[in-house]
Amino acid sequence: MRKKIIAGNWKMNMTPTEAKALCETLVPLIKGTKNEVVFCVPAVDVTTVVKAVKGSGIKVGGENIYFEDKGAFTGETSADMLLDAGAKYVILGHSERREYFKETDADINKKVLKALEKGLTPILCCGESLEQREQGITIDWIRMQLKIALQGVSAEQAKGMVIAYEPIWAIGTGKTATTAQAEEVCKAIRLLIQELYDRKTANAIRIQYGGSVNAKNAAELFAEPDIDGGLVGGASLKADFGTVATA
């Protein structure tokens, strides 16, 4: 049985002071859940959040890394920096990074390899635009994104990874994919993993749905056979996340 994993993606929200207050609200609501719960937070909040969730079982992640170890890359965060601050996970390839910061599938592949080399677990994002969905190329597009992002990743490494299927048209729009739409793509992703690796890897890897997940729709989405939890933006910044994370 795969353990469900629900991750909050705080995006560019929460100062360290606000982060501490949010943790004080959320920790009592989440503590003791059977799910794995991760707060993916801005790099500057990691230390504060690690301290604030200590002893609760909640894990902490970053929202991005650069693929080099260290050096003259002004403004970037390395895998070692996140790890040393106490993070265990990192979101990679989010559609906002792809769109606003021009990250390519090849960049994302380098980041995935670096995270795995260092021992940070990637939450690897993929997803189609509304135009691509209407053109009927959703699954082809996602297969291509994942095939590139997973180049050079071994079966052993893939087993521990998390993939987040996030249709771009559902992110921050309040327009959730239907449960059937979400399950269809998550199932196709699992089949791709089986094709690229083997059945054991496909059964082990965890696949999340993301895009307007909230306290009302989370339980239904996460009950699908191939949806192992969610990546949650807006609803991760309020008490609602207590319901989502324990769904």
Between the CA atoms of 9, 146, 191 and 156, what dihedral angle is there, to the nearest 10 degrees?
-80
50 binds ligand PGA (CB under 6 A): no
User: What's the CA gap between 71 and 48, in Å, rounded?
Assistant: 25
Q: Which of 231, 244, 245, 247 binds ligand PGA (CB under 6 A)?
A: 231
Is-catalytic flag, 131?
no
Helices (H), 68-198: 79-84, 95-100, 105-118, 130-135, 138-149, 155-159, 179-196
- Of 153 and 218, which CB lies nearer to ligand PGA in the complex structure? 218
Contact 210, 218 (CB under 8 A): no
126 binds ligand PGA (CB under 6 A): no
138 binds ligand PGA (CB under 6 A): no
Q: How far is the CB of 159 from ligand PGA (least distance, A)?
A: 23
- Of 171 and 247, which CB lies nearer to ligand PGA in the complex structure? 171
Closest-CB residue for ligand PGA?
233
Q: How far is the CB of 155 from ligand PGA (least distance, A)?
A: 27
- Of 126 and 202, which CB lies nearer to ligand PGA in the complex structure? 126
212 binds ligand PGA (CB under 6 A): yes
User: What's the CA gap between 15 and 44, in Å, rounded?
Assistant: 8
171 binds ligand PGA (CB under 6 A): yes
Active-site residue among 36, 63, 94, 96?
94
Q: Which of 85, 124, 149, 213 binds ligand PGA (CB under 6 A)?
A: 213
Ramachandran category for residue 175: left, alpha or beta (phi over 0 → left; psi -120 to 50 → alpha): beta
- Of 37 and 202, which CB lies nearer to ligand PGA in the complex structure? 37
Distances (CA, A) of 101 to 139, 151, 240: 24, 22, 30
The site that binds ligand PGA (CB under 6 A) totals a number of residues, namely 13
Is-catalytic flag, 183?
no
**Half-sphere exposure (CA, 13 Å, Cβ side) for 71?**
4
Q: State the residue for tokens 């902490």.
A: 60
Q: How far is the CB of 211 from ligand PGA (least distance, A)?
A: 5
Q: Which of 130, 172, 178, 195 binds ligand PGA (CB under 6 A)?
A: 172
Nearest to 3 by CA among 228, 244, 230: 228
User: What's the CA gap between 187 and 48, in Å, rounded?
Assistant: 37
210 binds ligand PGA (CB under 6 A): yes
Q: How far is the CB of 146 from ligand PGA (least distance, A)?
A: 17
User: What's the CA gap between 55 and 57, in Å, rounded?
Assistant: 6
Q: Which residues bind ligand PGA (CB under 6 A)?
A: 9, 166, 171-172, 210-213, 231-235
Catalytic residue list: 94, 166
